[in-house]
Chain A
Amino acid sequence: MRTATEARAEPRASEIPPFQIFLDEHRTVVYRFLIAAVGSNEADDCFQETFLAALRAYPKLANGDNLRAWVLAIATRKAIDAARARSRRPEPVADIVEMLDATATMRAEECDPAGPEIEDPLWADIQALPPRQRVALVHRVLLDRPYTELAAAMGTSMDAARANVYQALKKLREAWKSRG
């Protein structure tokens, strides 16, 4: 028979923190990601959508591990949805959140379409990338996330995530060269 002390010494899954603490801890990384992924105008709407979706699913989380990766996966989905809504080519997106063990249903509400408001040509090139390539690029280059996390956030394989970043960088290089 095990003693209480031994039982306590076992590694335990961390508790789900109060939502406000979770929000305070991750709001900046989510906001930074969204600014880069959907632009300044749409970042606020996507931010609300992201955290409300997280709040809906929150009590069903099994534990408080990897919350940063979890919320960035939701933000990724919202960013891709918003970009697709803008480009008027709606396509089904894999339910990343469900994949990460949160089973709540979420509405993929559209974020207001808005044009890029930044005149830097490189930024315009980034905005012109297909949504998945742009989001992959932001995760990898701006947030410096490893391909394992990137693949999880995008609901895809590591190879596919790598290919997305590669294609994005290739397109940016070509656009840059053609401009002279």
Chain B
Amino acid sequence: MDAVSVVTGIAAPLPFSNVDTDQIIPAVFLKRVTKTGFEDALFHEWRKDPDFVLNRPAFAGARVLVAGPDFGTGSSREHAVWALRDFGIQAVLSPRFGDIFRGNSGKQGLLAAEITEKDAETFWALIEENPGIEATVDLVTRTATIGAHTVEIVVDDYTRWRLLEGLDDISLTLRDEAQITQFEHNRQSWRPTTLPAR
């Protein structure tokens, strides 16, 4: 994973709540077996509307999404993160994220940062006044800035560290392999095993 520290780019507003992962990417696109090339699938139904924010010329090339609460709820599909990433979105700001979505984001270098509802509303107003205005999301200082307005962002320490360092989870865990093996040695015999099949 590439390290992430500061994201700067056009901010697009998505001022409603409960944008679930079925809306971010409908199930029909989940049939693919690849991990890239999902940009066309992003918000597939909504993008049929020419007035949808990501279709508006002012927001072409948007890098930051400012969303309402409960963004990324529902299905665990990591494809939602891949679609955002492939489309060019590098940071999402929301007052509250679906837990699994937030976890998936951290693993793919998509910066999912919490801001307060009030700050989201301020940002939406700023963007409405100046469509195409840029946002800067800074993981080092834990801030997001649009125009003259800078707010605090919340990202947990562990995710922040991994994003800043660009660390791969599996290699990190395998440093503890001896402990895993020890744990397995003590595993009670009543615990389930799938093999041999019965």
- B is bound to A: no
Residues on B facing A (Cβ under 8 Å): none
